[in-house]
Amino acid sequence: MSRHAALDTFGRSGNPLIRSNAFDSTAAFGDEKMTLQGAVNKTSMLLAMTVLTAGLSWNIQTPVMGLISMLGIGAALIAAISTFGFYFFFVGWILKPRPHLAPKTAPIYALGMGFAVGLISQTFEAQFPGIVLEAVSLTFFVAASMLLAYKTGIIKPDRNFLLMLFAATMGVVLTYLANLIYTLVTGNVFFVLTDNGWMGIGFSLLVVAIAALNLVLDFDIIEQGAERGAPKYIEWFGAMALVMTLIWLYLEILRLLAKLRSR
């Protein structure tokens, strides 16, 4: 054991994701091992669940459904935090990641987030007809392109890639958190998030790019898990991470298209 507690906790880097062995606690190699096919099946199942509840909240527009959607989002957040953990700057892991919970939490997350996706999509569709189809198509187009780039080795995720992407993703998360606080206090929204000028569109493009690059990390988690014979539950974990990024990417593309259309 090292004499330095910080080194024991984080390794050489202070960033919990940059340190090696990110899934050490999950590295139980039992009899049942994950496969690529299993991860694909689970991703399909989770996406189907998301579409199911998205369809419900899309078609039924009542105040009760609004409340239901909020509850669904709450359940999805609990599921996501319990699986991926909760990290806070300077404090460390408030709740450690528990990938072995993914078989239970992934369906809860997918069903819960479906309500949010349906509600948001319906709102955008009412304003800009046809925008949802475009956003869904673009999401899959981007995802397929990133997957092709990853599988062929055009994009090679390494530690520097992870470091930069983690910093960029945290930047986006903090911007959204700051916006939330700003909205609660002043009732307004950050200019850059709603602006349909070049600044707003540029910001949206940047966030779409960050979300798309996050897909590469999800592919790498799944690929490496199958390669090393990781436990079966990593299939659910990888699928959940992938669906989470796909939903984020979809919502960002939706926002970008809305900005472009409102010009």
Partner 1 sequence: MSASTILVGVLGAASAFMFFYLLRFKASAKQTNRDDRINWYGAESKVHDPKVPVDQSRDVDKPVPEIHEPEDRAPDRSARPQAIPSIAPVQASSPRMNKWLIAAAVVLIVVLLLSFYESTNA
- Phi, psi (5° rounding) for residue 95? -135, 120
Q: Does 40 bind partner 1 (CB under 8 A)?
A: yes
Rule CB under 8 A: say whether 200 interacts with partner 1: no
According to CB under 8 A, which residues from 138 to 197 bind partner 1? 138, 140-141, 143-144, 147-148, 150-153, 156-159, 161-162
Task: State the CB neighbour count (10 A cutoff) for residue 262.
Answer: 11
* Least Cβ distance, residue 153 to partner 1 (angstroms): 3
**Member of 36, 45, 170, 209 binding partner 1 (CB under 8 A):** 36
**140 versus 198: smaller Cβ distance to partner 1:** 140
Applying CB under 8 A, what is the total number of residues that bind partner 1?
79
Residue 123 within binding range of partner 1, rule CB under 8 A: no
Residue closer to partner 1 by CB (options 22, 192) is 22
Binding flag, residue 44, partner 1 (CB under 8 A): yes
Query: How far apart (Å, rounded) are the C-alpha atoms in residues 207 and 169?
Result: 8
Site for partner 1 in 9-28 (CB under 8 A): 20-28
Q: What would the x/- binding string for partner 1 be over residues 56 to 85, using CB under 8 A?
A: xx-xx-x-xx--x--xx-xx--xx--x---
Closest distance of CB 178 from partner 1, Å: 27
Please select the residue that binds partner 1; options are 58, 115, 203, 250, rule is CB under 8 A.
Answer: 115
> Cβ distance 84 to 217 under 8 Å?
no
Toward partner 1, which CB reaches closer, 98 or 261? 98
Question: Given CA atoms 182, 188, 194, 196 in this order, what sign does their dihedral have?
Answer: negative
Interacting span for partner 1 (CB under 8 A) from 50-58, 168-176, 182-190, 193-201 = 50-58
Residues 206-235 that bind partner 1 (CB under 8 A): 217, 219-231
What is d(CA 138, CA 188) in angstroms, rounded to the nearest whole number? 30
> What is the nearest approach in angstroms of partner 1 to the Cβ of residue 261?
13
Instruction: Pick the stretch among 86-94, 98-106, 206-214, 248-256 that binds partner 1 (CB under 8 A).
Output: 98-106
46 touching partner 1, by CB under 8 A: no
Instruction: Examine residue 108 and tell whether it contacts partner 1 (CB under 8 A).
Output: yes
Identify any residues that bridge with 92 across adjacent strands, giving them in sequence order: 88
